[in-house]
A and B are shown apart, each in its own frame.
Chain A
Amino acid sequence: MSLLDVQNVTHTYDTGTGRPVLHNVDLSTKEGEIVALVGESGCGKSTLGRLIAGLHEPSSGSVSFEGSDIAGLRGKRRKEWRRHVQMVHQDPYGSLNPGLTIGSTLAPGMLQHKLANRRTVQAEMIKLLQQVGLDATPVFLQRYPHQLSGGQRQRVSIARAISLQPKLIVADEVTSMLDVSMRVAILDLLLSFQRDRGIGFVFISHDFGVVRYFAQGGRIAVMFYGYIVEEGPVEDLIKSPSHPYTHMLLQAIPVPDPVLVRKRDEQGSSPERLTGEPSTKGCVFANRCPLVQDVCRKEAPPLKDIGSGHRTACFFSDEIPPLKHLTVDEASPQATRL
């Protein structure tokens, strides 16, 4: 049974434009699986994450957890679902209450869900601090968020999420505001919970490097203006993208190697139409697509299976050119990290 099932979800924010931010989105994950949502700003990836975490109700369609539509959950079962799906937000400065100590941030959830009582909660919290790599002392529980660095705050947010022993964590751009030297440590910490406790992740990021590192062995769904345009296993999708938008995203990534950069620049300039509005008729990507043909402006391509769990919404997925600079590790053996 799948852990999470997003079925035909369309969502519109009440802003007066009436334009949906999500269109007929389908997505499911299994227990302990990592699914990454990738796309440019405004593509709907955070909205989808928030619907999955139950922060909004979809305008139409359903989000089911362990087989039950979450909109219909009541009482004890609703409370249980609440505990099982947790969220870690992007901004470690905005997502912790500045007026609460770390202890007061962590304790209420565990008490509410009876995962600790008044006598044991202190010891449980210190255990949590240790699990997320913070200073595991009673003094630390007395600290306020403003006394901590961004990396430490993000660890507190993670402690808050895992304190409820969830089955799924929605992680929304959790490393984008951290320094480079902190990022990998935070990703490794989250991965350890996936490995040791089988916690599944919906991992939202616009950084393919981070996604490839975190979601290895999992899946990626690429979103464009409210549509999932491609979805598939991480390595497969990154090595041979089957949608021109995914190709464009991968080709745009800055390469941390000046020699490769020069080689690539010698092969030609960046594609045009890197940014711009979506098309309102036919394929949503048609306005910006380098491969666009007449049919794309008339008809929207369905998200269809192209084998080995890989789906794409493009009529011309066979014509996507190979990536220019991402092929350097072709010769090296596949790494297995998880």
Chain B
Amino acid sequence: MNSVNTDDQTLLEIDDLTVAFGDGAGSVRAVENVSLSVAAGEIYALVGESGCGKSTLAYSMLQIVPQPGRIIGGDVRFRGRGMVTMSKRDLNALRSAELAMVFQGAMNAFNPVVTIGTQVDHILQAHPEVFPDPKEGRNHFEHLLELVQLPPKRIWKSFESQLSGGMKQRVAIAVALLLQPSVVILDEPTTALDVLNQRLVIDILKDLHRDLGVTIVFVTHDLAVVAEVATRVAVMYAGRLVETGTVEEIFKAERRHPYVEALINAIPSVLDVGLTVEPIGGAVPNLADLPAGCRFAPRCGLAEEICQHTEPPLLGDDGGHLVACHVVNRNAVPMEVSEA
């Protein structure tokens, strides 16, 4: 088991990654020059609105960017091994041993005509290297079902149609953990769930992290869920990373990207009566027709002349809290240029 507290034990490293969809004039870059690293034992949140590239970034961590998307620059490394140029065979071996994914809408991922148990047996048969004795694999799955607060015996015999959406989401999480990956990536794990099922998934992710020591990367648009679960956060906007830091830095630091500030202020909360809630004016830019300079500038209250023509670099302090904003970074001293 990985220990939860590590000294920068980098597991997954995204290095200057660019992912394009289509080619020629119609091509768009869903992810552009993004660098970040996930250390063992972290719960890493990728946050942003629809179309910001957060899911594409998550897919590229597994090298499963859907067609016509492709990685046109940079690399993804797992424990230092580059995945972009890796052979398909090595990639499959790496994925089945180390990486797992729970897709968005995973509640619709099950085969409706065979039981959950049969589907789990199929996975165990395909990967005898993990559990040579299938009985051991079944026992492990029962243990996982208990961790996601489901009755193992009943679930094993169930068809997916006999389970609620919230139950299916939790079964999907248990299935992802079946082969004992060191990293599990979840795309929008709490979306489309009501508040009680959402709370259950939040609690379960924290439990799994604590009990299994598994590293978690999750994609979400919900900042409240980020505050509940994440230890580290990357915020994306229109394909670029705009801010990254620990969860406290993102929510509490003085120096903060204006987009992140606006996102936090746009959450109608039960904590505060609506006075500070403000919508963000304008709309996310079309990736095929991006503004010159900072991509958030057309919606930004702080935007200055420089923002109109120069893209802001991600700059930060020693601790790894990086912000891509000319204005915020100029006003904050001291500061060092990061390599990112």
Binding site for B on A (CB under 8 A): 40-42, 149-151, 179-185, 187-188, 206-210, 212-214, 216, 238, 248-250, 252-261, 269-270, 274-275, 325-326, 328-329, 332, 334-335, 337
Contacts and interface: CB of A to CB of B under 8 A. Distances in A.
B251 interface: yes
Given A180-B223, A326-B270, A337-B275, A261 B228 contact: yes
Contact of A181 (B164, B272, B279): B279
A161 to B, nearest CB: 20
Interface residues of B, number: 47
A208 B270 contact: yes
Given A184-B277, A253-B195, A258 B248 contact: yes
B268 A275 contact: no
A149 B193 CA distance: 23
B277 to A, nearest CB: 5
Contacts of A151: 283
B268 A181 contact: no
B306 interface: no
Given A40-B197, A275-B196, A254 B203 contact: no
14 contacts: A40-B195, A41-B194, A179-B221, A180-B223, A180-B263, A181-B262, A207-B268, A213-B268, A252-B199, A253-B224, A256-B224, A258-B247, A326-B271, A332-B272
A206 B277 contact: no
A43 B319 CA distance: 47
Contacts of B198: 252, 254
A250 B267 CA distance: 16
Residue with the greatest number of chain A CB neighbours at <10 A, chosen from B165, B224, B252, B280: B224
B202 interface: yes
Contacts of B167: 275
Contact of B195 (A182, A207, A325): A207
Nearest to A249: B195
Interface string B220-239: 01111111100000000000
B119 interface: no
Nearest to A265: B206
A149 B283 contact: yes
Contacts of A260: 271
Contacts of A274: 196-197, 199-200
Contacts of B226: 256
A210 B277 CA distance: 11
B196 A40 contact: yes
A41 B165 contact: yes
Nearest to B50: A179
Contact of A256 (B195, B203, B264): B264
A213 B270 CA distance: 8
Residue with the greatest number of chain A CB neighbours at <10 A, chosen from B221, B228, B251: B228
B273 interface: yes
A274 B202 CA distance: 12
Given A216-B274, A252-B196, 18 more contacts: A40-B194, A40-B197, A42-B164, A150-B50, A181-B266, A206-B194, A206-B195, A208-B270, A209-B270, A210-B268, A213-B274, A213-B277, A249-B196, A252-B198, A255-B228, A256-B223, A259-B252, A325-B271
